[in-house]
Chain A
Amino acid sequence: MSDMDAIQKGADAYDAGVKKSLAKFAERKERFVTGSKSPVERLYTPLNNAGQDYVRDIGFPGDYPYTRGVQNTMYRGRLWTMRQYAGFSTAEESNKRYKFLLEQGTTGLSVAFDLPTQIGYDSDHALSQGEVGKVGVAIDSLADMEILFNGIPLDKVSTSMTINAPASVLLAMYIAVAEKQGVKPDQLNGTIQNDILKEYVARGTYIFPPEPSMRLITDIFAYCSKEVPNWNTISISGYHIREAGATAAQEVAFTIADGVAYVDAAIKAGLDVDDFAPRLSFFFNAHNDLFEEVAKFRAARRVWAKIMKERFGAKSPKSWMLRFHTQTGGSTLTAQQPDNNIVRVAIQTLAAVLGGTQSLHTNSKDEALALPTEDSVRIALRTQQIVAYESGAAETVDPLAGSYYVESLTDRIQKEAEAYIARIDDMGGAVKAIERGYVQQEIQDAAYAYQMDIESGERVVVGMNKFQIKEAPPSGLLKVDPKVGEDQANKLRDLKAKRDNARVASSLEAVKLAATGGDNLMPPILDAVRAYATLGEICDVLRGVFGEYQQKVIL
């Protein structure tokens, strides 16, 4: 009798036993589902993974298809980068927070910009009123950026910047600050998010229409491959897609479909896939269903590797590897009994680590209420450190591999994601699918179903729809001084009086010329930034040439 026959025999006996038990005691629920509402069976055995081939589908860490991780020693070699997303108020305030985080043991910086900065408006613009310094730091010109990184050696830290539509401008500012520190562009390490497609579907900080936006992105790919070779030129983001309500499989599918669109665009722009693909990076969410999330990360690596090798014919293994940052799930945090969020974040941290993340931001317990305080950020960072140093999860590579359940989930998420990607291909790719509203509609449907499950009590959220208590309003929340807007406007006025305005005007003219023609936009933007042209001035020039995106409103 073969192994499988023996297992089948055992499984049949088990099922018979279960039937007897069920006759006496029903299970807790009629249907068991994952966090993303996929059915979960009572028991997983080798029978669930009968079609799997270890070498082909799972393989070894550091080897195609990278199911088990992108490095061969993973966290035994080096722990993931502990990178806390931070930024608020002015450059001065945020600089203080960065120095605090570095003292506490973070190993990389992650800059949060305020909404006017993300949408290319200066702080004194009418639409910036009330928003300056709120969800991140206000940056209007190189002068602010110099303050932001004052005393932080840019050849020693790696910096991630959550900036999309005006990514070229902020990257140029970073390069210019480094120059002033005597640091060359090829010594810089970091990431710009630079992922416009998910802004159209889930995050909302777009400026320009898709076509010129894709050109800005491929200009960055081309420029950095020569000048800033260690920079991650994009962070293709599923995080916000998931936060907007997508399921785990949709998160993988829509993110990778966006990735395919960027690779297509870059190849069309004349770049060689192996010149830019090694610098593509990804950004995923970590929610509460530990096993499903681990499987999601493993499946994402496998799907991407296959696409890069088979579809795009990339030759370099570095082009096949899906490297990713993770942030724990903001939308899973509750305003009720906020201390419970520490536990949620701990589970999500474990999911990211067991899933092989390259860097991690852990959310703070108070983020359903306000920006985090220093105390709550410290707990969030300590959570990563406890997982890293005490849990044992970092001592061996991909410890959940071979779990019948996790391998089965990994296969299922891969299949679901590939089916979505095929559907999006049929529509003509991610840009077309977004223009049609398909991706948005899928995400919204999942978000609505999620909310209805909470309201019916089918989905339990501890402290929110079950185990509630009467609680006093939270105290000690962080508040951003409403005067920040005024202060930034004053700084801008001084800057404009002091700088060489003729040089600013000619540098902006050069940006316009490149935007109208086909030359790479990075060099003239860098010149404009060095002349202290403001973010708003540069983006206004680009708005004039490219126009602005009109949102497709879908309900």
Chain B
Amino acid sequence: MERKIRVLVAKPGLDGHDRGAKVIARALRDAGMEVVYTGLRQTPEQIVAAALQEDVDVIAMSILSGAHNHLFPRVMDILRERNVQDILVIGGGVIPDDDIPALKAAGIAGVFTPGTPTSATIDFIKNNLKRSV
């Protein structure tokens, strides 16, 4: 039997807007994935530690505060320092189009902005996993 895709939904930084993160978490769960939600105010270090401890296939981060240019790449740096290459990392939130190329270059595989249906995120995860499930 196929195992379930495991996802860490994470809120990096000080932003308290978690409606989007929680809706996504629930939609991924309804789509048959196993979801762990970190809660608010996670540092990049805490997010990576949680991802490793929970052995997830995907880290999905949400930021609405504008701190994405700092915090998303930090998570990628720490993953690289730990030599982790098989976790798919995606992000969402209020993220201007201009910022997206740099985030992708840093290793954020998909960036989802307001108005994206949850089905688009689900499909993206299924089609871009770095590990086989």
Q: How far is the CA of A368 from the CA of B18 in the complex (A)?
A: 15
- Assess whether A115 is in contact with B97, with CB atoms less than 8 Å apart: no
- In chain A between 82 and 131, which residues have their CB closer than 8 angstroms to a CB of chain B? 115-116, 118-119, 121, 127-131
A474 surroundings in chain B (CB, below 8 A): 96-97
- Assess whether B66 is in contact with A451, with CB atoms less than 8 Å apart: no
A411 in contact (CB, < 8 A): no
A209 in contact (CB, < 8 A): no
Given contacts A135-B65, A451-B23, contact A130 B13 (CB under 8 A): yes
A115 surroundings in chain B (CB, below 8 A): 13-15, 65
- Assess whether A447 is in contact with B15, with CB atoms less than 8 Å apart: no
Given contacts A115-B13, A335-B114, A336-B115, contact A448 B26 (CB under 8 A): yes
Stretch from B32-40, B51-59, B77-85 contacting the other chain: B32-40
Residue on A nearest B24 in the bound complex, by CB: A451
- In chain B between 40 and 86, which residues have their CB closer than 8 angstroms to a CB of chain A? 40-41, 43, 65-67, 69-71
Among A119, A121, A331, A553, max chain B CB count under 10 A is at A553
| Shortest Cβ gap from A135 to chain B (Å) | 5
- Assess whether B67 is in contact with A131, with CB atoms less than 8 Å apart: yes
| Shortest Cβ gap from B102 to chain A (Å) | 12
Interface size, chain B (Cβ < 8 Å): 36
- Assess whether B16 is in contact with A203, with CB atoms less than 8 Å apart: yes
- Assess whether B16 is in contact with A555, with CB atoms less than 8 Å apart: no
A464 surroundings in chain B (CB, below 8 A): 115
B17 surroundings in chain A (CB, below 8 A): 203-204, 243
Residue among B29, B37, B96 making CB contact with A553, cutoff 8 Å: B37
B39 surroundings in chain A (CB, below 8 A): 551, 553
- In chain A between 432 and 455, which residues have their CB closer than 8 angstroms to a CB of chain B? 444, 447-448, 451, 454-455
Q: 1/0 per residue A466-506: CB within 8 Å of B?
A: 00000001100101101000000000000000000000000
Given contacts A369-B96, A451-B23, A455-B117, contact A134 B67 (CB under 8 A): yes
A67 in contact (CB, < 8 A): no
B22 in contact (CB, < 8 A): yes
- Assess whether A334 is in contact with B37, with CB atoms less than 8 Å apart: no
| Shortest Cβ gap from B6 to chain A (Å) | 15
- Assess whether B69 is in contact with A482, with CB atoms less than 8 Å apart: yes
- Assess whether A204 is in contact with B114, with CB atoms less than 8 Å apart: no
- Assess whether A369 is in contact with B115, with CB atoms less than 8 Å apart: no
Q: How far is the CA of A480 from the CA of B119 in the complex (A)?
A: 32
Q: How far is the CA of A131 from the CA of B114 in the complex (A)?
A: 20
Q: How far is the CA of A331 from the CA of B69 in the complex (A)?
A: 23
| Shortest Cβ gap from B29 to chain A (Å) | 8
Residue among B26, B65, B118 making CB contact with A131, cutoff 8 Å: B65
| Shortest Cβ gap from B121 to chain A (Å) | 11
A183 in contact (CB, < 8 A): no
Residue on B nearest A118 in the bound complex, by CB: B14
B25 in contact (CB, < 8 A): yes
Q: Is the interface of B mostly helix, strand, loop or mixed?
A: loop
Q: How far is the CA of A400 from the CA of B72 in the complex (A)?
A: 49
A129 surroundings in chain B (CB, below 8 A): 70
A119 surroundings in chain B (CB, below 8 A): 14
- Assess whether B115 is in contact with A334, with CB atoms less than 8 Å apart: yes
A368 surroundings in chain B (CB, below 8 A): 94, 114-115
B26 surroundings in chain A (CB, below 8 A): 444, 448, 555
B87 in contact (CB, < 8 A): no
A79 surroundings in chain B (CB, below 8 A): none
A199 in contact (CB, < 8 A): yes
- Assess whether B96 is in contact with A116, with CB atoms less than 8 Å apart: no
| Shortest Cβ gap from B133 to chain A (Å) | 22
- Assess whether B14 is in contact with A127, with CB atoms less than 8 Å apart: yes
Q: How far is the CA of A555 from the CA of B27 in the complex (A)?
A: 11
A134 surroundings in chain B (CB, below 8 A): 65-67
A444 surroundings in chain B (CB, below 8 A): 22, 26
B3 in contact (CB, < 8 A): no
- Assess whether A448 is in contact with B115, with CB atoms less than 8 Å apart: no
Q: How far is the CA of A447 from the CA of B118 in the complex (A)?
A: 13
Q: How far is the CA of A128 from the CA of B41 in the complex (A)?
A: 11
A477 surroundings in chain B (CB, below 8 A): 96, 98
| Shortest Cβ gap from A244 to chain B (Å) | 5
B35 surroundings in chain A (CB, below 8 A): 555
- Assess whether A130 is in contact with B67, with CB atoms less than 8 Å apart: yes
Among B19, B69, B97, max chain A CB count under 10 A is at B19
| Shortest Cβ gap from A550 to chain B (Å) | 9
Q: How far is the CA of A205 from the CA of B119 in the complex (A)?
A: 30
B23 surroundings in chain A (CB, below 8 A): 245, 447-448, 451
Q: 1/0 per residue B103-125: CB within 8 Å of A?
A: 00000000001110111000000
Residue among B16, B22, B66, B94 making CB contact with A447, cutoff 8 Å: B22
A-B contact pairs, 10 of them (CB 8 A): A127-B41, A134-B65, A244-B19, A368-B94, A369-B114, A370-B94, A454-B117, A474-B97, A479-B96, A555-B29
8 more A-B residue pairs beyond the given contacts A131-B14, A448-B27, A482-B70, with a C-beta to C-beta distance below 8 A: A115-B14, A204-B40, A244-B19, A369-B94, A370-B94, A447-B19, A448-B26, A555-B26
Q: Which 9 A-B pairs have the closest CB atoms?
A: A204-B16, A130-B70, A115-B14, A130-B67, A134-B66, A553-B39, A473-B97, A335-B114, A131-B67
The interface of chain B, by Cβ under 8 A from chain A, is 13-19, 22-23, 25-27, 29, 35, 37-41, 43, 65-67, 69-71, 94, 96-98, 113-115, 117-119
